[in-house]
Amino acid sequence: MQAFLIDWLSLLARWLHFITGIAWIGSSFYFIWLDNHLEKPRDESDAAKGVSGEVWSLHGGGFYHAQKYLLAPRVLPETLHWFKWEAYSTWLSGMFLLILLYWYGAGVYLIDPASAASSAPLAVALAAGFIVGGWIIYDLLCKSPLGRDDRLLGLVLMLLVGLLAWGLCQLFSGRGAYMHFGAILGTIMVGNVFFVIIPGQKEMLAAAMRGEVPDPGPGLRGKQRSVHNTYFTLPVLFVMISNHYAMTYNHSFNWAILIAITLAGALIRIYFVARHKGRASPLPVLVAVIILAAVAALIAPRAGALSAQSGEPVSFADVQLVIAMRCSSCHSEAPTHPAFPAAPAGVMLDSEQQILAAATAIHQQAVVTRVMPIGNLTGMTDAERATVDRWYQSLEPDHD
């Protein structure tokens, strides 16, 4: 019942996280687009009122006319819409999911027996420290003199993000490292909203309500953090789906793959932001495509690279014994492992027919990516993986 409850809570939290994430990213992307499409107001009276830019758009069968004031309108409207709860809800649901799966279930998803953080309390403490420390270091850098030079700050942040990816992959399982990398970037993003962007907007609103000219400083700081957020978005989205692709997080150079895909995502976003401004160079996208192609080429399985192109023939009984000892505690009609109330992904390996039907998936995950058993909970040995490999090769002699 406990495992079922955790699964159910995980489902609800993941669904909520997905919904709120769409709302946050959608509004963020829209306002970046809006800001980059503003044109000088054509009506001189609008400019006299303090309008710095405007844009006309057509959507849903109607015309929209958006205007941006340089600081604040002379007369504040009765209704003023804020955009903050999308960010807060996304972070809260994401942290709940992280705690539920990766902290409460540290022994399954966070700890790698070969990693530095080999005990659950140590792993969780380190994970929490990285999340809090990541925000503190980032915020201090932005507030330092370095923060006045966007290009230099961006270069330093890129180097630190690369170091972060490497460090997490040394401490945790690949899957746990990737998820915490995303959680740290996500925390920085929501920290920007909570501690910088919204307070700055409140300062500007308070000054306008007092009849004073708002200080532009908070708005400029908020704009800087908003730009950082939009460049973090695609890397965070990659992390959200990465747990489905063990070829990335379970690779021996998982940290380099994470850095490369993060850089590619940021470059793609740079291109689209520039495209909004009407002066986009294809170079960022070209570099991103080259990076992604290089990653794909480097992690692709090599013919003959697996362990057992030769050796004693393996019977089905031999491989069935390995599967029974190392896989069936989870992948069964009635799993015996307490963490899984039902077979993960619906894959059951109780019968010969089921094992043969899943042969390619078994080989891919137990031999090629070595992601299964998850966290090697059942202690599958290299010799047993070689047994699975020889059996699979015997099924398809022409298999590369």
Residues 15-46 pLDDT 10s: 999 999 999 999 999 999 999 999 999 999 99
The residue ranking higher by pLDDT, 24 or 118, is: 24
In 10 A of CB 279, how many CB atoms? 7
pLDDT at 377 over 90: no
221: CB partners within 8 A, 6+ apart: 142, 196, 200
Q: What predicted TM-score, i.e. pTM, was given to this entire model?
A: 0.87
For residue 5, the cross-strand partners are none
Q: Which of 277-291, 305-319, 340-354 has the lowest mean pLDDT?
A: 305-319
How far apart CA 54 and CA 50 sit, in angstroms, is: 11
Predicted confidence at residue 400, as pLDDT, reads 47
The arithmetic mean of pLDDT across residues 194-206, rounded, is 94
Task: Give the mean model confidence (pLDDT) for residues 219-242.
Answer: 95
Going by pLDDT thresholds of 50, 70 and 90, the confidence category of residue 7 is: confident
What's the pLDDT band for 311 if we cut at 50, 70, 90? low
Domain ranges for the chain, please list them: 2-36+83-299, 316-395
Residue 80 has pLDDT above 60, yes or no: yes
Question: What angle do the packed helices 120-143 and 150-171 form, to 10 degrees?
Answer: 170
Average pLDDT over residues 232-261: 95
- CA distance linking residue 33 with residue 282, whole number of Å: 18
Q: What is the pLDDT of residue 228?
A: 96
Average pLDDT of the residues of the chain: 91
Query: Is the pLDDT reported for residue 239 higher than 90?
Result: yes
- Position 167 scores a pLDDT of 97
Query: Does residue 308 surpass a pLDDT of 50?
Result: no
Burial pattern 116-139, b for ≥16 Cβ within 10 A else e, equals ebeeeeebbebbeebbeebbeebb
Model confidence at 118: pLDDT above 80: no
On the question of pLDDT at 121 being above 90, the answer is yes
